[in-house]
Amino acid sequence: MNLSCTNSSAWKAESVLISVGFSLIFLLGIAGNSLVLAVLCRNGQMSTKTTNMFIFSLGVADLCFIVFCVPFQATIYTLDQWVFGPVLCRAVHFIIFLTMYASIFTLTAVSLDRYFAICYPLRSRQMRTPKNALISIGLVWSMALVFSVPYLSYFSQMDIDGIVLCIPTWEPRARFIMDLCTFIFGYLVPVLVLSLTYARTIRYLWTSVDPIKDKSESRRSKRKVTKMILIVAALFCLCWLPHHIIILCMWFGRFQLNHTTYALRILSHLVAYANSCLNPIVYALVSKHFRKGFQKVFSCSGNRREENRVHAIQAVNTVIGGLSCTHGGVGGAILPFCSVLAFLF
């Protein structure tokens, strides 16, 4: 009896922690990516600058990943069974992998875009056009669709001993090949491309500094750019590495199913999903143009609230004036109430 109570209380504590973790990722991801998209749409340069177009695509992918992944994964770890039906069982996992691939491929495209822009600024002008950027974004999402379509049949709803679950139903060999392909094309190849492009970019920035400029200024600029690039690559690799390691260890028989490994699996998902919250910070907040855009968004919302407050006070004063003129004593009686309304607005 005591053991069952202890296990029950432990499970409740875990459920609370899982819910809090997924909720934070959901809220931060929604807010961060929505803010990035709002800034890009407001500045009027999204259709003329290729980097902004790629960042917009990344924000859309990350936002969709947060919306369609986090809530359902949270219910999987907190509820006893799948409650959303067979159609959503397939659709949710398809969208999860679609947006995952789109995010990863977009990050890779951004690294290539930055590499050509920095290392070949003149020759890349003819190639880095809005039209070619749109073609690249379309190619990114098309590739993501191709790699994620098999997941429409990979997961299915099943009733096991009266418990409804949404689990993989492919044969073990087919599942192993699919998971291995996901690791290779959804992690290993993008990491290799990121490492190569950022390594060459860092080398270029480090060796091609104008000697006429002040040394301290050149060193500061190199540190800032190098730090940003290393953070981008490191965050992507570190956030998704635990997830892929656990999947590979499960297939190679070195990941026993127990309470500790179950907690590690949940933690790997939390860290991987957190990458979609960190991308807006890395790609947007390090830029002074985005910081100004954020300030404009918040200042506009503040101005709207101030305008609403002024209009409300004017409306209240109009009502007070009308009541005072037409009903005399009633206007005097209602004045304190209207003053309170004006204060609240």
Same domain for 282 and 310? no
Residue 300 lies in a domain: no
Residue 292 lies in a domain: no
Please list the helix, strand and coil fractions of the chain in percent, rounded to the nearest 5, in that order.
80, 5, 15
Q: Do 58 and 283 touch, CB atoms closer than 8 A?
A: yes
In this predicted structure, what is the pLDDT of residue 205? 77
Overall pTM surpassing 0.85 (yes/no): no
In this predicted structure, what is the pLDDT of residue 315? 46
Residue 187 lies in a domain: yes
Same domain for 184 and 35? yes
Residue 291 lies in a domain: no
Least confident of 106-115, 207-216, 267-276: 207-216
Q: Which tokens in the block code for residue 236?
A: 């992507």
Same domain for 32 and 74? yes
- Supply the range of the domain harboring residue 16: 2-286
Nearest to 191, CA basis, from 111, 136, 115: 111
CATH of the domain at 131: 1.20.1070.10
Q: Which tokens in the block code for residue 251?
A: 């297939």
In this predicted structure, what is the pLDDT of residue 73? 82
Task: List alpha helices for 120-258, DSSP H.
Answer: 130-148, 151-154, 172-183, 189-207, 215-251
Same domain for 217 and 318? no
Q: Which tokens in the block code for residue 172?
A: 């073990």
Q: How far is CA 270 from CA 47, 192, 290, in A?
A: 34, 24, 27
Residue 20 lies in a domain: yes
In this predicted structure, what is the pLDDT of residue 345? 34
186: pLDDT confidence band, cut at 50, 70 and 90? very high
Kindly tell me if the per-residue pLDDT of 284 is higher than 70: no
Residue 294 lies in a domain: no
Q: How far is CA 185 from CA 20, 54, 179, 196, 251, in A?
A: 32, 20, 10, 16, 18
Residue 301 lies in a domain: no
Q: Which tokens in the block code for residue 181?
A: 């392909």
In this predicted structure, what is the pLDDT of residue 325? 38
In this predicted structure, what is the pLDDT of residue 184? 95
Same domain for 263 and 154? yes
- Burial grade of 319 (CB within 10 A; 0-12, 13-18, 19 or more): middle
Same domain for 227 and 340? no
Same domain for 121 and 176? yes
How far is Cα of residue 302 from the mean position of the Cα atoms in its chain?
26
Same domain for 97 and 226? yes
